[in-house]
Amino acid sequence: MEKERLKIVIVGHVDHGKSTVIGRLLADTGSLPEGKLEAVKANCARNAKPFEYAFLLDALKDEQAQGITIDSARCFFESAKRHYIVIDAPGHIEFLKNMVTGAANAETAMIVIDAKEGVQENTRRHGYLLSMLGIRKVVVLVNKMDLVDFDQATFERTAKEYNEFLAQLNLTPVSFIPISAFEGDNIASKSPNLPWYKGLTVMEQLDALPKSTEEANLALPFRFPLQDIYKFTEGKDDRRTFAGTVETGSISIGEEVIFLPSEKRSRIRSIETFNTAKQTTAQAGQAIGFTLETQLYLQPGELMVKAEDELPNIGQRFRSNIFWMGKAPLIKGKSYLLKIGTKRVTVKLVKILNILDASELSSIENKEQVDRHDVGECIFETNKPIAFDLSAEIEFTGRFVIVDDYEIAGGGIILEAIASQESLLAGQVKEREEAWETGLVTANDRGIRFQHQSKFILITGEHGVNKREIAKNLEKQLFNKNYNAYYLSLSNLNLGLDRSIPRHVVEERAEQIRKVGELARIMTDAGQIFITTLAEADDYDLERLKLLNEPHEILVVNVGENRFSKYPVDLCLGLEESPEQAFEKIIDLLNSHSILEYYI
């Protein structure tokens, strides 16, 4: 039978002896190339410097550059029971990004503490990060016991201090082991120098760690972040396949599913794979595809769940623990991109609850921004509702990264959903309206002069449908009938109103929506029938536009299939309808709202 594999990340403050621990593990398990150890020792003797296991790692790295298979960041060794992959995470704070990258996919961590120096700033910070990264199996090695005369009291003092620190993070280490990596005490064999220690050696402890949580993930509710939807027609393939990776739980053909946040429902018709036996069940870990019994129009990023399972949270606000790696600080008011599962959504920092001082694990209050290498607790708000779990319940769907200026700048885990508060946008609109300075002409005055009310008419639909023609014809016809109608193509803004704003792909969409809404607010205030088009809008885009245009009214005309599940569209036009027919229907709509004839 194939041996198990276990990925371990090794962390700790600079110079607390990580390399020595790794070197020892490699040497004591016979995992080094033949003659390597002797060669490095001989080299040290020649240069009259004391041998250190860390030199061994350096020597292996040199070889690697010449094409031999030992990895600098990853080392391999094996016990009778398992293959171990050790990820050597840089201790220096400047390499936080690399430490996070290395640690994020490890199952287990070893934290090395120097018995003489005790718990240091990065010992704490790394502990905090490990807890946030979801690594629950942590072994603490109190190293360099030879430098404190193998003193039990020193070991216990260090263990107690760090244990108390980790307890605040809800992290309970598997064990504390006193070692001297340099001397080999308690690494692969019990040390005669530490007779008071009755626990396991490092190797025994590693072998005793329970293997990963695959079964536990299977028992959780079903969660499937929709990565993409494929329709490849080559070879008369008519499947519409919903592709992604099952994060937790399992699902079988015939079961009912809900996509969130859109709340669309269907049932699993088939499970799609390539070059495997037909599957009737899909389970946690599988990168797979589904076809559904009914045709649904969905965007990638929705979370597919099982109707009978406990549902995730749907909302825009949440409280979270985060770490920040960005070159620029995390600030309020700025739009960032949030990536959670396969969803990408615009997000803003609402409130900093506290920033942790890693050297003390005390809070720094009243901080206005989150700086590079800070860890802390914050409230965020997305511009549209998202589906998420609390990290304590399902970690996979309860964690996220934040992108700033194209870079992943932060990561976090969700602690709590914050429900039913006024959204940031509603707050902003309220503030705007309270401060809005009007002239001496009222809306009623304008209505009487123009013989109609103002209105924001938005024509939406997929790319490629004739929204623009309909909009232009509408403007012309209304104008001919003496209405004040104005059509604006949003592309006109790029080289005009938007010119001063650097184009930023991440925020472009959210910013575009905001601008259209604000423009509509001005144009409707001026008494106009303001007409524009917007492709591929979703329910939340329409909600935002409606809100931004307040106190005036918006009418939404959809061309083609109505894919909105929440927003009540005012008028649906078929693809076959001409701009003339469209105009007749829009006029009827306006009349039915007694907008046009009211003043006549």
Q: Which residues bind another protein (CB under 8 A)?
A: 2, 5, 33, 61, 64-69, 71-74, 97-98, 100-101, 104-105, 133, 214, 227-228, 230, 232, 234-235, 237, 239, 241, 243-245, 272-275, 285-287, 289, 300, 325, 337, 339, 396, 399, 401, 403, 406-408, 411, 505-506
Nearer to another protein, 308 or 371 (CB): 371
Nearer to another protein, 66 or 294 (CB): 66
Closest CB 575 distance from another protein, rounded Å: 26
For residues 138 and 161, give the distance between their C-alpha atoms in angstroms, rounded to a whole number.
16
For residues 202 and 231, give the distance between their C-alpha atoms in angstroms, rounded to a whole number.
52
Nearer to another protein, 216 or 419 (CB): 216
Per the CB < 8 A criterion, the answer to whether 559 and 466 are in contact is yes
What φ, ψ does residue 155 adopt, rounded to 5°?
-60, -50
Nearer to another protein, 157 or 344 (CB): 344
State yes or no: cis peptide before 551, omega within 30 of 0: yes
Closest CB 517 distance from another protein, rounded Å: 25
Nearer to another protein, 149 or 234 (CB): 234
Nearest CA among 497, 455, 491 for reference residue 598? 455
Nearer to another protein, 164 or 371 (CB): 371
Closest CB 67 distance from another protein, rounded Å: 4
Closest CB 64 distance from another protein, rounded Å: 4
Closest CB 595 distance from another protein, rounded Å: 43
Per the CB < 8 A criterion, the answer to whether 388 and 417 are in contact is yes
Task: With both helix axes pointing from N to C terminus, report the angle between 539-549 and 424-435 in degrees, rounded to the nearest 10.
Answer: 20
Closest CB 278 distance from another protein, rounded Å: 13
Contacts of 179 by beta carbon, 8 Å cutoff, 6+ apart: 21, 141, 142, 143, 145, 185, 186, 187, 191, 202
Closest CB 2 distance from another protein, rounded Å: 7
Nearer to another protein, 73 or 307 (CB): 73
Give the chain's length.
Answer: 600
Beta strands, E only, 80-231: 82-88, 108-114, 137-143, 175-178, 223-230
Closest CB 134 distance from another protein, rounded Å: 8
Using DSSP's 3-state secondary structure scheme, residue 68 falls into: coil
Closest CB 241 distance from another protein, rounded Å: 6
Nearer to another protein, 241 or 451 (CB): 241
Nearer to another protein, 32 or 203 (CB): 32
For residues 281 and 266, give the distance between their C-alpha atoms in angstroms, rounded to a whole number.
16
Nearest CA among 40, 165, 15, 27 for reference residue 90? 15
Closest CB 162 distance from another protein, rounded Å: 24
Closest CB 388 distance from another protein, rounded Å: 13
Nearer to another protein, 45 or 68 (CB): 68
Nearer to another protein, 214 or 310 (CB): 214
Show the tokens assigned to 449: 């002069």
Nearest CA among 513, 476, 223 for reference residue 384? 513
Beta strands, E only, 182-298: 223-230, 241-245, 250-252, 256-260, 264-272, 281-283, 287-292
Burial of 116 (0-12, 13-18, 19+ CB in 10 A): middle
Show the tokens assigned to 129: 């990060």
Per the CB < 8 A criterion, the answer to whether 214 and 199 are in contact is no
Q: What is the CA radius of gyration of the chain?
A: 31
Cβ count near 430 (within 10 Å): 13
Q: Which helix (H) or strand (E) holds 218?
A: helix 214-219
Contacts of 525 by beta carbon, 8 Å cutoff, 6+ apart: 443, 454, 552
Nearer to another protein, 163 or 273 (CB): 273
Closest CB 11 distance from another protein, rounded Å: 15
